[in-house]
């Protein structure tokens, strides 16, 4: 059993258990991929995939093997990248949820480049669920997300507090600082971030605690789209406060409150517990921890 066997196994799982696609992704023949899996199963004396019809389905022992294989392959890839780039600048792969990527990450990267001009930073801005999957498959070194990760193999560290604000249109009769009862709040038309985003998770968590759930009439990955929908009187939205400061200052929206709901949250730095963090990765994480002490907080003015 070799590292090659584990990489082939992981490639099949990443290809939705399709050996033909896995073979194409690895520039191998399909028989060679199938033989590698057969050799793995014979070596350990277990069945990693059930063969049902023409499709593979991973078995429980296969799921267990996948956790080990993913970690081992990721550590090997880290070693390869670190050793081959030992005397060069290297590459830092950073993931960010959409809110942090819109508000803070450009400032973080700019400050990091000022300190470490020879290190290249590659950024992926995506929903938190996608970032966790990329961390599991070693496509990212670490990520910055709203809320906490779902996978127990992730290390998570709180590094900044934040809050969400409920916004509404003054044209619809809402006033700045107005408070609604929980019953009044439940009757509103909701314009929300997409399921799986950190912002949406905070909203859903608080409404469940209050004993109800919401079916939004709008869902969007774009804060701009949601704010514009509010401005046009289509409903209310719950969004990061810093993201609505521009339209709030221009009087396009107002913030309202609901006493029974608490939309405070924290931003987190997350990475796989088995991840080897390079010097540059540790430096970037430390910059995020101390950013508010060394630099002014960025302010999103809202480009609408």
Confidence of residue 88 (pLDDT cuts 50, 70, 90): very low
In tens, the pLDDT along 18-66 reads 999 999 999 999 999 999 999 999 999 999 999 887 789 999 999 999 9
Q: How far apart are CA 302 and CA 304, in angstroms?
A: 6
pTM of the model: 0.62
Give me the pLDDT at residue 264, please. Answer: 87
Give me the pLDDT at residue 293, please. Answer: 60
In tens, the pLDDT along 67-82 reads 999 989 888 887 877 6
Which residue's structure tokens are 């990443």? 14
Q: Which residues contact 243 (CB under 8 A, 6 or more apart)?
A: 99, 102, 103, 223, 227, 300, 302
Give me the pLDDT at residue 304, please. Answer: 40
Q: How far apart are CA 151 and CA 304, in angstroms?
A: 36
Structure tokens at 55: 């499709």
In tens, the pLDDT along 148-185 reads 898 999 999 999 888 899 999 999 999 999 999 999 99
Give me the pLDDT at residue 188, please. Answer: 96
CA distances for 219 relative to 208, 223, 235, angstroms: 18, 10, 12
In tens, the pLDDT along 243-299 reads 888 899 999 999 999 988 989 888 999 999 988 888 889 999 999 998 866 655 555
Give me the pLDDT at residue 294, please. Answer: 63
Give me the pLDDT at residue 241, please. Answer: 87
Give me the pLDDT at residue 74, please. Answer: 87
Which domains does the chain show, CATH number per domain? 3-84 (1.10.10.10), 91-160+266-294 (3.40.190.10), 161-264 (3.40.190.290)
């Amino acid at each position: 059993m070799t590292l090659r066997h584990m990489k082939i196994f992981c490639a099949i799982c990443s290809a939705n258990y399709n050996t033909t696609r896995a073979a194409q992704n690895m520039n191998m023949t399909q028989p060679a991929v199938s033989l590698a899996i057969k050799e793995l199963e014979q070596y350990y004396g277990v069945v990693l995939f059930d063969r049902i019809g023409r499709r593979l389905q991973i078995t429980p022992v296969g799921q267990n093997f996948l956790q080990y294989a993913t970690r081992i392959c990721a550590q090997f890839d880290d070693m390869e990248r670190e050793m081959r780039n030992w005397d060069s600048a290297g590459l830092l792969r950073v993931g960010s949820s959409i809110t942090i990527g819109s508000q803070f990450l450009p400032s973080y990267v700019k400050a990091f480049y000022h300190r470490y001009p020879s290190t290249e930073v590659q950024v992926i801005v995506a929903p938190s669920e996608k970032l966790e999957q990329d961390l599991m498959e070693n496509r990212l070194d670490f990520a910055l997300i709203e809320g906490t990760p779902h996978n127990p193999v992730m290390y998570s560290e709180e590094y900044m507090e934040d809050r969400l604000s409920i916004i509404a249109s003054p044209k619809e009769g809402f006033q700045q600082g107005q408070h609604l009862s929980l019953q009044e709040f439940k009757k509103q038309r909701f314009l929300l971030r997409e399921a799986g985003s950190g912002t949406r998770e905070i909203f859903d968590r608080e409404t469940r605690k209050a004993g109800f759930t919401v079916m939004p009439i709008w869902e969007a990955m774009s804060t701009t789209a949601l704010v514009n929908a509010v401005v046009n009187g289509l409903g209310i939205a719950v969004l990061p406060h810093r993201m609505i400061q521009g339209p709030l200052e221009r009087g396009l929206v107002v913030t309202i409150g609901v006493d029974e709901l608490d939309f405070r949250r924290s931003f987190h730095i997350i990475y796989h517990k088995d991840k080897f963090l390079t010097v540059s990765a540790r430096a970037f994480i430390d910059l995020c921890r101390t950013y508010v002490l060394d630099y002014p907080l960025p302010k999103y003015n809202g480009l609408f």
